[in-house]
Amino acid sequence: MPVSELSAAELRERYLASLRRELTGRADRYPYRLVKRPKKDKERRLYDAVRARGMDLVTLEPPNHELYGEGGGWPVTGLTMIGTQRLEQVQRAVETIIAEDIPGDLIETGVWRGGSCILMRATLEAYGETGRRVWVADSFAGVPPPDPETYPQDAGDGLHNQTPLAISMEEVQANFASYDLLDDQVRFLPGWFRDTLPTLGEERWSLVRLDGDLYESTIIGLNELYPRLSPGGFLIVDDWGAMTQCRQAAEDFRRDHGITAPIHEIDWTGVYWRKDG
């Protein structure tokens, strides 16, 4: 069908579906992998000489579209690792919020390269929604070291050693800008959640997406943000199935606050519920 014959709704869905595909890395044809610094002297000298010129050594490898689509890997060039189903759920949640006029902004805690927040902003843009903001909350320095004395559920976690998780705020901002979506409706909140989330004051939320990988990050997000989540708003836990400590934090919070709203599975790890009220 010619584009000129498509309805506004069809054009909107085509735009957002194309964006979802690109954000997950499923549109990659020639993804690359950074070469680590070699151990052998001769190879290491070559590597260092290339790096000294401000370049990287990379290898091409076949794209694993199925893995990226399931959210089971860390894409090389994609801007999110949450996969197709979780990304689409974000879009549908925002569409529901707009349709039902649920008050409040949208926030994600733990954004990596910013892909799901970019989709939130794109969905607002596609529907002409100018009265809401997308909050991008992250340390922009990776996952914090575990604090087993305060949060024994995180004891032994080693994600703070994973340097690919440390994406700078400037890089995330550039990712927004590459889609022409960096504007006044996007707010950045840099720092550890224990320090930043309590500063949000009386902000109201229609969507809270938790992707902090730790019990600490998840429980802080719930304690600080859930009380101001509007009735009917979405609470999304990305790592419910992948990280036992994240599921434990959500279950503890629900038990302690008498929350009985049904939990909906998104895929093999993500879940959400809607706040009663």
End-to-end CA distance of the chain: give it in Å, rounded: 44
Q: Cα(260)–Cα(273) distance, rounded to whole angstroms?
A: 9
- How far is Cα 160 from Cα 277, in angstroms, rounded to an integer? 38
Write out the chain's pLDDT in tens, 277 residues. 566 678 999 999 999 999 999 998 866 655 565 566 677 888 878 878 887 887 766 666 666 666 666 776 677 778 999 999 999 999 999 999 999 999 999 999 999 999 999 999 999 999 999 999 999 999 999 999 998 999 999 998 888 887 778 899 999 999 999 999 999 999 999 999 999 999 998 899 999 999 999 999 999 999 999 999 999 999 999 999 999 999 999 999 999 999 999 999 999 999 999 999 8
* CATH number of the domain located at residue range(s) 83-274 in this protein: 3.40.50.150
- The Cα–Cα gap between 251 and 246 comes to 9
pTM (2 d.p.)? 0.87
Work out the angle at residue 56's Cα, subtended by the Cα atoms of residues 190 and 80, and round it to the nearest 5 degrees.
Answer: 40
**159 Cβ contact partners less than 8 Å away, ≥ 6 residues apart:** 142, 143, 165, 213, 214
Between CA 182 and CA 199 the distance in angstroms is 23
What stretch(es) of the chain map to CATH 3.40.50.150?
Answer: 83-274
CB–CB of 84/70 below 8 Å? yes
Tokens of 106: 């949208």
